[in-house]
Amino acid sequence: MEDKLIRLTVNGRDEAVIIQPLATLQDVLRDTLELTAVKSGCGQGGCGSCSVLVDGELRLSCLTLAERAEGAEVTTLEGLNATNAIVPLQQAFVENYAAQCGYCTAGMVMAAKALLDRNPAPSRDEIVEGLSGNLCRCTGFAPIVRAVQQAAQALSDTGEEAS
């Protein structure tokens, strides 16, 4: 088993990275590319803190083999701030106190983005289901659900995209 070179696009930038056998996408994003918004809360697919978009779809980077992300377009939370302006979804998290320790936040925002990209006007139940793979130990979820509701409303008011 040898190290391999893979190419992928991360947050709009083409990257070529050398990976060890069975390296995960999380290893590449966190350790190689130093995109540390991607968190590693369990490595078991149980917490959602490592959630990213792969070709526009929500994925768990801890359970995704890096080798199988070759050629993919990957978006991490950092990718939402290409122009450094805070996006409405993030702003809604701030205004609703949708984080305390912040460790789940990156995954939570990405899950919310994936939901709003697919369904710009979700019901409360759809938000709850859309975030059901992401855990938070601090907030009790209520502020997070409210933030996503507010973001959806803001988006429908302005006609913008989530991020």
Partner 1 sequence: MPELLRPGSIDEAADLIARHGAAAAVLAGGTSLMRETYPSDGGYLIGVDRLGLDKVVSRDDGWSIGAAVPLSVLREAVPIPALQAATREIGGPAVQNMATVGGNLFARAPFGDLAPALLALGARLVFATADGETTQSIEDFYAGWTDGAPPRTGLLTRIELDALAGAAAYMKCARRRYSTPSVVTVAACVQKDGGTVSDARIALSGAHAHPLRCPAAEQAVIGSSLDDAAITAAAQAAEAAVAPQTDAVATDWYRRRMTGVFVGRVLAVLA
Partner 2 sequence: MSMKELGVVGRNVGQRDLESHARGQTTYYEDVHYPRMLHLKMHRSAEPHANIVRVDTSAAEASPGVVCVLTHEDLPGKKVWNGLAAVGVGPEDEPILAFDKVRWRGEPIVAVIGESAEAARAGAAKVEVEYDPLPGVFDVEEAMSGEAPALTAHWPNNHYIYPDDHAAAQIRFGDVEQGFAEADHIVEDKYQTSPIEQAPMETNGCIAKPGGDGRITVHTNTQAVHFARDNTAAILGLAPGKLRFLGGTVGGGFGGKVDVAVEPISVLAAMRTGRPVKFKYTREEEMQVSSTRSAWRLFIKDGVMNDGRIVARKITSYQDSGAYLRFSSYGSMKHAGHMPGPYTIPNVWVDARVVFTNRPPSSAMRGFGVMAASFAIELQMDKVAKTIGMDPWQLRLLNAYRNGDMRAHRKVNEDAAMVETIQAAARLAGHDLPADYQAMTSWDRKAS
Partner 3 sequence: MAKVRGTGFAAVNYPTGMHLGGDPTQSLIHMTPAGDFVVTMASVDLGQGLRTVLAQIAAETLGVPYESIVVETADTDTGPHCTGTFASRTTHRAGNAVVMAAQEARKAMLEVAGELLEASPEDLETDGDGNIHIKGVAERSVSVGEVAGAAHFGYGKTIAGRGAYLKPPSPMDPETGECDPDSTQAHACTIVEVEVDTETGMVEVLDMKSVYEVGQQVNPDLVKGQIVGGSWMGIGHALYETTAPGYPAIDPAPVDFQNYLQPGASEMPEVTCEVLEYPAESGPYGGKGVGEMVTNGPIPAIVNAINNALDVRITQIPVTPEVILRALDEKRAQAGG
Task: Write out the residues near partner 2 by the rule CB under 8 A.
Answer: 20, 22, 31, 34, 36-44, 46-47, 49, 76-78, 80-81, 86, 90-91, 93-94, 97-106, 109, 135-138
Nearest to 33 by CA among 82, 58, 66: 66
Count CA within 13 A, CB hemisphere, residue 118: 13
Angle formed by the axes of helices 88-95 and 105-118, nearest 10°? 130
Q: Give the footprint of partner 1 on residues 115-134 (CB under 8 A).
A: 115, 128-134
Single out the segment in contact with partner 1 by CB under 8 A; choices: 19-27, 31-39, 83-91, 154-162.
Answer: 19-27
* Among positions 63, 65, 135, 154, the unique one binding partner 3 when judged by CB under 8 A: 135
Residue 93 exposure: Cα atoms within 13 Å on the Cβ side: 21
How many residues touch partner 3 under the rule CB under 8 A: the total is: 25
Find the Cα–Cα–Cα–Cα dihedral 124, 126, 132, 138, rounded to 10°: -20
Specify the DSSP class assigned to residue 100. S
Phi, psi (deg, nearest 5) at residue 113:
-65, -45
Residues 64-93 that bind partner 1 (CB under 8 A): 64-65, 67-68
- Region from 42-50, 80-88, 95-103, 147-155 binding partner 1, contact rule CB under 8 A: 42-50
| Residue found under tokens 């994936």 | 114
CA dihedral sign, ordered 149, 154, 156, 161: negative
37 binds, among partner 2, partner 1, partner 3, none (CB under 5 to 8 A by kind): partner 2
Contacts with partner 3 by CB under 8 A lie at: 42, 44, 46-47, 97, 99-103, 127-129, 131-132, 135, 137-145
Contacts with partner 1 by CB under 8 A lie at: 1, 21-22, 24, 43-45, 48, 51, 57-60, 62-65, 67-68, 111, 114-115, 128-134
